[in-house]
Amino acid sequence: MTATPTELPDSMRASVLHPDLSITTDEVPVPALDADEVLVQVGAVGVCGSDVHYWKHGRIADFVVDTDIILGHELGGRIVAVGAGIDDARLGQRVAVEPQRSCRVCEYCKSGRYNLCPKMEFYATPPIDGGFCEYVTIQADYAHPIPDEVSDAAAAMLEPLSVGIAAARKADLRPGQSVFIAGAGPIGIIQCQVARAFGAARIIVSDPAQPRRELALQHGATEVVDPTATDVSTAGYNVDAFIDCAGVAPAVVSGMHTVKPGGHVVLVGMGADEIALPIPLIQNYELVVTGIFRYTDTYPLGIHFVASGKVDLDALVTSSYGLDEAQTALSRAGAPDELKVVVRPRE
């Protein structure tokens, strides 16, 4: 590897989740660099619902915490060393980390759908370590340069922003159109901002919590609705697209009834493994129903949205913690008074 003039340490601090679901701050080796990789000193890591789920339950679907793992897949930082095949000019560059490594040779990778690569290695998905630590490695082309206008926290949140961009693309959202979004948690609020950046003229957000609805109005929603007080399915919204960010069965089903014939339904939220869907509605309206599994080629657009001010990610940060407080950060994520919790490993 090629390093900066400051000698890199052999070990680093990391917040480690153990199979018994306890968390400790340990000294672990600094990861070794492959020729096509860069070493990133982590500046900020966003806490995602999947991190919380692994900590609380020890598994998501078939991915099980059966060995020690470092959580955190939303991160940004600075390149402090490069592999043998990478130009030294990248040293010192601030970057957002797209936290995945695909095989690049399967049919999905070759067709540009690398998110579906069967050999994908994704940060903080067992057994792949994530970013609740001081340094990470990533293939150089997944370390996206960011301008000074993008903070470390915003660089980290380019990952959930990428989910919002992928959903908007799946929804075929165009300027002047309308969209109904279920859920005003972190992903729902980001989805509001993305819809606005894509040029949507009408952005309706549904959430049972009044504070969440108020946040949605501050971040791009043109109107909000309380689904416990209004029957969304019969309200006659007649939108071009419905994007579910709640993962709650009633929200999914009622939201599908808001879509006009020929419209799009995009399922982002993760909830029950199975939901009964209104098949006659899908057939008779020729609705396009799809899901979201991560993203592809979203970071360049996300960086543009943040640097240009079209999307404000820094405004979503409600609290931040040091690496020794990672468990507290996980416990706070999802609290009613929190929107986005950030861990800063160098604090």
Alpha helix (H) ranges present in 204-276?
210-218, 249-256
18 and 53 inside one domain: yes
pLDDT at 53: 92
123 and 181 inside one domain: no
73 and 171 inside one domain: no
pLDDT at 1: 52
pLDDT at 270: 84
14 and 71 inside one domain: yes
71 and 133 inside one domain: yes
Asked if residue 287 belongs to a domain, the reply is yes
DSSP-derived secondary structure for 257-278: TTEEEEEEEEE-----S-----
112 and 197 inside one domain: no
13 in Cβ contact with 26 (< 8 Å): yes
Q: Look up the domain containing 31 and give its range.
A: 2-145+313-344
pLDDT at 5: 43
Distance separating alpha carbons of residues 145 and 307, to the nearest angstrom: 12
Give pLDDT tens digits for 258-314: 999 999 999 999 888 889 999 999 999 999 999 999 999 999 999 999 999 999 999
184 and 141 inside one domain: no
112 and 191 inside one domain: no
Asked if residue 158 belongs to a domain, the reply is no
200 in Cβ contact with 243 (< 8 Å): no
39 in Cβ contact with 1 (< 8 Å): yes
Distance separating alpha carbons of residues 224 and 207, to the nearest angstrom: 8
284 and 331 inside one domain: no
Number of structural domains found in the chain: 2
Asked if residue 150 belongs to a domain, the reply is no
CA distances, 201 to each of 149, 197, 265 (Å): 27, 10, 18
Asked if residue 139 belongs to a domain, the reply is yes
Residue count (the chain) = 347
pTM: 0.94
22 and 115 inside one domain: yes
Which residue stretches of the chain have pLDDT < 70? 1-6
Distance separating alpha carbons of residues 167 and 156, to the nearest angstrom: 19
8 and 102 inside one domain: yes
Distance separating alpha carbons of residues 179 and 121, to the nearest angstrom: 33
Asked if residue 298 belongs to a domain, the reply is no
- Contacts for 162 with CB less than 8 Å, ≥ 6 apart: 98, 294, 295, 298, 299, 302
61 and 175 inside one domain: no
Asked if residue 296 belongs to a domain, the reply is no
